[in-house]
Amino acid sequence: MLRKSVCTLIGAFVAGITAIAAETSLPFVSPMFGDNMVLQRGKPNTIWGWSKPGEVVRVEIAGHTAKTVTGADGRWQATIQPPAPGGPYTINIDGPQTVELHEVLVGDIWLCGGQSNMELGLGRTRNGVDEIKSANHPEIRLYTVRQHVSYSATAVPQGEWKICSPQTVADGGGFSAVAYFFGRRVQQDINVPIGLVQDCVGGTPAETWASPETLHRLQDFDAGLAEMARLKANGGPEYGNYIMPWYDDYDIGLKSNTWAAVDLDDSNWKTVQIPSGFQELGMADVPGVCWFRKEITLPDPLPAGKATIYLGVIEKMDTTYINSRWVGASSWVENPRAYQIKEGILKPGKNLVTIRVFKMKPQGGFMTKADGLRLVLGDDTVIPLAGEWKGALSVDARPPHPLPLGFENYPIMPSVLYQGMIQPLAPLAITGVIWYQGEANSERAYQYRTLLPAMIGDWRKLFGQGDFPFYIVSLPAFMHHQDAPTEASWAELREAQALTARNVPNSGVAVCIDTGDPDNIHPKDKKVVGERLALCALTQHYGEKLPYQGPTFKSAELLPGTMKLHFDHTDGGLVVKGDKLKEFSLAGKDRKWHWADARIEGDAIVVSSPMVPEPEAARYAWQSYPAATLYNGAGLPAVPFRTDDWPGITEPRQSASAQR
């Protein structure tokens, strides 16, 4: 993360204040351009960088040239027509410096955005090891935008282009599996080079990727934007979240000699019992931050292999250290803590475990039974952690003490990734965007109906290339199946994604309801996801005649005792995958939902239930983890839907099928 002084200079620069590149250390050529890059075919390409005002810069590729003069703000920008698709080419940039970019291809660039399921590396997917071994695709080029939050507009992205190979797809945490499978399928079908720009951060809500101007207009994010402005004015680290600056301001355990320090004198700390702990500190029923320390003894020599510390479920947030070194932190209450310990942290003999817990609810804190708290060494030796610890209160956070706006310790503040990771890419010439995000917004699904289209509009305006394609991954199944029809935030979020795809021009949705894992928010089957996104692109953008979407609700007839549901995208006919049609439910005037029997009738589904003699609305796959069995003949799953919130229901009438 850049120091405050550098961030301030860059922000002022982008705002239009005159600056000279030498003073701000801005590069002559933006890092968005380099060896092994892809230049977008079929449209003007803008290449840019920074120099002294008034200096002439000339760009040339395969006889195509462009000349520009550095502006008063220190930025030069040249627009050039690309040569024929293919390559390799060399780009020559001449000015106060001379730069040659080698191994440049001309093809299509896709920006790949979202949160952790887009970020998930190829090696962590099903058959990932084998996929990496075969990932020799010199016509595919990869660019990973380095993660960076910013409280103001950023000028310079960080990253570099790489040729797709087993080594480059495995570098770091691994290149996005969804992007890789998408790019591979598209490249194979259209036979032109493909550039994939990975621009995503795990856990991030959509508002982090939208502009402040747009979010102010929506009026739902003013508190977060105001806090960002306050933190920006105060200076200090740009965390991009609310909890870290709150700790800086109020947690005395971080002051001077941190309470995680091995040499801290904790003789005046209270002896407490974990997992209770908070009772002895007088914090059983009130919010507050408490620190706990425990000395453990490990064998000499330490067993080989990875060690893991297990702390169970913690409410609300923990930060865990061993021997003064950070090993993990989480604010996801339902997620049992299991932190792998990096090599060199543990040592033979005495070791100090320190845990900071921000507890919000009565009887919160450690929520797991004593035997769930343990450290497991590389040879599976278990070191119990429950029992006697030292504890101290750091922050009594009961009212009127201020609380943070959020507890997540990763970027969640509005606009910080738009400013830090999207703005510095523009106006790069691209073909379109693929987007896998929504998990972090699932509890605000109705808001997402407005937020996602607004964010798409932001990106299209920023890049200035019209309504380029924007393809959305519909959230897969997650959590466990419910035996009775129920409301579900994940179902509402999928609906918001489908509505966006229907209402926003040149958008589409890849339905992946059949790719989930009830116990893992990161399902491993990413090949299906990438290839379904590719089907959207191949049909909607490239014009191939392929089925690209499963059965999609079109309209409903209200018939005596039944409903008849009509569908589009029934390529090959409606098909049941499994023993029967499932996950259809009906409700009458009382709005109580009951499972319904369903049968296929041509390109329609007829649903009925003895519990609903006069149905008024129907739903399909309306829960977080539905048993979705409706497909079309092309093998694509139906789009989950509800008629009670979707236009298209016709007036009750008799039909031929009802008369029979």
Based on the fold, state whether residues 338 and 448 are members of the same structural domain: no
Indicate whether 226 and 251 sit together in one domain: no
Contact 236, 248 (CB under 8 A): yes
CB-CB contact of 429 with 468 (8 Å) = no
Whether 416 and 536 map to the same domain: the answer is yes
Residue 6 covered by a domain: no
In what order do the strands lie in the sheet containing 337-341? 337-341, 307-312, 374-376, 382-384
- Mark whether 474 and 532 lie in a shared domain: yes
Let me know if residue 74 belongs to a domain: no
**Domain co-membership, 478 together with 530:** yes
Task: Identify the pLDDT of residue 332.
Answer: 85
Question: Which amino acid, 606?
Answer: V
- The pTM of the full predicted model, rounded to 2 decimals, is 0.91
Other Cβ atoms closer than 10 A to 521: 16
- Check whether residue 422 and residue 385 sit in a common domain: no
Bridging pattern class, strands 597-601 and 161-164: unpaired
Q: Which domain holds residue 575?
A: 552-659
Residue 4: predicted pLDDT: 30
The answer to whether 353 and 321 have CB atoms below 8 angstroms apart is yes
Q: What is the CATH number of the domain that holds 439?
A: 3.40.50.1110
> Which residue reads 């407490």 in tokens?
272
- 201 lies in some domain: yes
Residue 82 within a domain: no
Domain final position from 356, 372, 396: 396
In this structure, are 383 and 431 located in the same domain?
Answer: no
Burial of 531 (0-12, 13-18, 19+ CB in 10 A): middle
Residue 385 phi, psi (nearest 5): -115, -15
* 88-135 tens-digit pLDDT: 999 999 999 999 999 999 999 999 999 999 999 999 999 999 999 999
* 196 strand-pairing partners: 110, 142
Write down the residue that tokens 């204040």 correspond to: 17
Last-in-domain residue among 516, 549, 582:
549
Instruction: Please identify, among 549, 569, 595, the residue that sits at the C-terminal boundary of a domain.
Output: 549
What backbone phi and psi angles, to 5 degrees, belong to 545? -95, 85
Q: Do 283 and 295 have their domain in common?
A: yes
Q: Are residues 251 and 387 in the same domain?
A: yes
Cβ neighbours of residue 282 closer than 8 Å, sequence gap 6 or more: 393
User: Pairing mode, if any, of strands 270-274 and 288-298?
Assistant: unpaired
pLDDT tens track for 363-376: 899 999 999 999 99
Any idea what the Cα angle at residue 134 is, between residues 129 and 137, rounded to 5°? 130
Same domain, yes or no, for 629 and 643? yes
Q: Which of 164, 156, 158 is nearest to 38 (CA)?
A: 164
471 located within any domain = yes
Q: Count how many domains the chain has.
A: 3
Report how far residue 567's alpha carbon sits from residue 374's, in angstroms, rounded to the nearest whole number: 53
At residue 163's C-alpha, the angle toward residues 161 and 165, to 5°, is 135
Within a domain: residue 8? Answer: no
CATH, residue 568? 2.60.40
14 within domain boundaries: no
Rounded to an integer, what distance in angstroms lies between the CA atom of residue 149 and that of residue 412?
Answer: 10
Same domain, 216 and 271: no
**Mean pLDDT, 10 residues at a time, over the chain (660 residues)?**
30 32 73 98 98 98 97 97 98 98 98 97 93 97 98 97 97 94 98 98 97 97 97 96 97 93 96 94 95 98 96 96 97 89 97 97 93 97 97 97 95 98 98 98 97 98 98 97 95 98 98 94 96 98 97 96 97 95 96 97 97 97 97 98 69 31
Question: How far is residue 367's CA from residue 375's CA, in Å, rounded to a whole number?
Answer: 17
Helix (H, G, I), strand (E, B), or coil: what is residue 657?
Answer: helix
3-state secondary structure labels for all residues of 186-231: HHHHHCCCEEEEEEECCCCCHHHHCCHHHHHHHCCCHHHHHHHHHH
Q: Is residue 85 part of a domain?
A: no
Omega of the bond leading into 518 within 30 degrees of 0 (cis): no
Residues 646 and 577 in one domain: yes
Q: What is the CATH number of the domain that holds 291?
A: 2.60.120.260
Contacts of 483 (CB under 8 A, 6+ apart): none
Q: For residue 11, what pLDDT is reported?
A: 34
